Amino acid sequence: MTISPTQTFALTDDELALLPSDDDVEHYAQHGWYLSKKIFTDDEVDELVAASERYYAGERSRSLPTRPPRLAYWEPSKGDVQRHNDYVHYESDALARILRKPLLGAVAARLAKADEIRVFQSTLIYKPPIAGEPSNVVPWHFDRHYWASCTSESMLTAFIPFHDCDEEMGTITMVDGSHRWEEIGADDTTTRHFAERDNDDLEVMLSDNAAYNNATVTKVPMIIPKGHMSFHHCRTYHGSGANRSDRPRRAISFHLQDGANAFRPFQLSTGDLVAYNHDVLVRRTEDGRPDYSDPEYCPVLWRTA
Ligand SMILES: O=C(O)CCC(=O)C(=O)O
Ligand SMILES: [Fe+2]
C-alpha cells in the first residue's frame, strides 16, 4: 500500500464541489469542528460495514509485527463492550482502500491549511446497542493529549460513522470553540488515555477550563448523515453518550497529521519520555527518532500539487 513520494492527487469536478468553502474553513477555525458534505457513496459506506464485519471475524491483510503497549485491540473474548481497534488502515486493505479516498484528505488539508495530510491512526469503533453499557460512554477529552510526542498543533480527526448517526446512537459531541481555550490543570495525567481516567474528573476538568476562559460549555452533537463525516481539531473537547438505538453504532475515528508533523521528545515530570504506539513500529529518521512519515504506517492521503 505504499505510494511513491512523487505521486500526485487529483479530484474530479464533482469532488471539488464537496470541499469545504472558505466560510466552512473559517467556521472550523472558529468552532473547532466541521460537518462535511457527502464524501463517501452509499456503496463505499456499505463496504466499510462489510469489511469491518470481516475484520471482526478475524480477516487481516497483515498483522502488526508487535503489539505496542497501549494498543486498543478488541477481540471476541472481551464480549459485548464498546470495541476499539487501532491500526485498521494497516491491518485491513479493504478498509484502507476506502479511507484513502483522496477527497477525504483534500477536505482535511483545507481545514488544517496544510499542503500534505498523512494518516496518523485509525480506530475502528463499535458501540453495541445496549442502553446501559458503561463502556459505550466516551468521556470528555481532546486528542492532542495523546499526541504529546507530536510537534504539530494542527492535527485533526475525521469521525466517520457507517450509517446515519444521531444522538439516540450516541454520536460524537463537540464542545464548541474549546480548541481556542487556554488550558489549566494540564498535568501529567492528561497524557494518560481517557479510559484510564475518572469520568467525573473529566467533567470537572471541562467546566474548570471553560470558567478559566470565561467561556460556557456548549455541547454540539454531530448529526451525521450516511456518507458524511465530522472533523475536529486536536484541541477540541469531545465525547459521546450511550447507544440507545436498537442498532450498533459503527464508525472509524481517522486521526490525521499535517505534512510538517514529526516526533518530538516530551518528558513527564517523572523524567519518563511520553511514547506513542508508533514509536515501537515505525522506521527511524536519520537522527534516530521515530519517523511519523513512515509510509507503512502513516501513508500520505493528500498532497497539494
Ligand atoms: O466514538 C466517539 O464518539 C468519539 C471518538 C473520538 O474520541 C474521536 O474520534 O477522537
Ligand atoms: Fe477523541
Q: Report d(CA 100, CA 87) in Å as an integer.
A: 14
Q: What CATH number did the domain enclosing 105 receive?
A: 2.60.120.620
What global pTM score does this model have?
0.95
pLDDT higher for 214 or 196? Answer: 214
1: confidence class by pLDDT, cuts 50, 70, 90: very low
pLDDT for position 16: 98
Looking at residue 134, the DSSP 8-state letter turns out to be G
Does residue 231's CB lie within 6 angstroms of at least one atom of ligand 1? no
* 84 CB-near residues (< 8 Å, 6+ apart): 72, 73, 74, 123, 124, 125
- Residue 1 within any structural domain of the chain: no
Mean pLDDT rounded to a whole number for the chain: 94
Q: Is residue 165 part of a domain?
A: yes
Examine residue 282 and state whether it is found in any structural domain, yes or no.
yes
Question: Quick check: CB of 159 below 6 Å from ligand 1?
Answer: yes
Residue pLDDT, tens place only, 29-55? 999 999 999 999 999 999 999 999 999
C-alpha cell belonging to residue 166: 444521531
User: Best substitution site from 33, 159, 173, 233 to test ligand 1's pocket, by max atoms within 8 Å of Cβ?
Assistant: 159
Does residue 102 form part of some domain?
A: yes
Helix residue ranges per DSSP H, 33-155 = 42-56, 88-91, 93-99, 102-112
Ligand 1 probe mutation, 253, 255, 256, 257, most atoms within 8 A of CB: 253
Residues 273-302: tens digit of each pLDDT: 999 999 999 999 999 999 999 999 999 999
Q: How, if at all, do strands 138-141 and 238-240 pair?
A: antiparallel
Per the structure, how many domains does the chain have? 1
Residue 8 located in a structural domain: no
Instruction: Tell me, in angstroms, the distance from the centre of ligand 1 to residue 7's CA.
Output: 31
- Range scoring the smallest mean pLDDT among 69-73, 194-198, 215-219: 194-198
User: What beta strand segments (E) does 203-288 contain?
Assistant: 219-221, 230-233, 238-240, 249-258
Atom 8 of ligand 1, nearest CA residue: 253
The parent domain of residue 25 ranges over 13-60+74-303
Q: Where are the beta strands (DSSP E) in 53-185?
A: 83-86, 116-127, 138-141, 156-161, 172-175
For residue 2, tell me if it sits in a domain: no
Question: In the predicted model, what is the mean pLDDT of residues 179-200?
Answer: 70
298 in any annotated domain: yes
Which atom of ligand 1 lies closest to the CA of 251?
Answer: 1
Could you tell me the three cell numbers for 93?
486493505
Is 3 within a domain?
A: no
Residue nearest to atom 9 of ligand 1 (CA): 253
